[in-house]
Amino acid sequence: MTTPQSNAQALKDTLQDYNYHYYVMDDPKVPDAEYDRVFRELKTLEQESPELITLDSPTQRVGDKPLNEFSQVAHKVPMLSLDNVFNHDELLAFDKRIKERLERSDELEYVCEPKLDGLAVSLMYEDGLLVQAATRGDGQTFP
């Protein structure tokens, strides 16, 4: 019989392996739908038992360590990821969180685009010229 703690650790280990293959090796191990399923299972478990949340949990960060071959520079603004929304209730909860953070109660207008799988990049221009292109890395530093 598995305990919630051992189940959470197994899910974290699985997601860390998936993250390594996706973010570092650029060779996803599983389809996005499977990753999302495991991620949501861990997130639900952590919401039900907050004592299982750890700083290294995949629910608490984005990406993975970049390859050592790349030089690293700190992002000026952290490059984070939004939670997925799969139903109307989750969309309403997202809207509520945004309004609370913005300290607004009026209606907000959103622009939504389909999610396309691919590389998240940060591009820096100076005087209209591209001076740096980088991946998201771990969200704090990038190669």
Where in the sequence numbering do the catalytic residues fall? 115
Query: What is the token pair recorded at 103?
Result: 């300290």
Q: Is the sign of the CA dihedral 52, 117, 32, 113 positive or negative? A: positive
Q: Which of 136, 131, 22 is nearest to 75 (CA)?
A: 136
Query: What is the token pair recorded at 20?
Result: 């390594």
Number of H helices, E strands in the chain: 3, 4
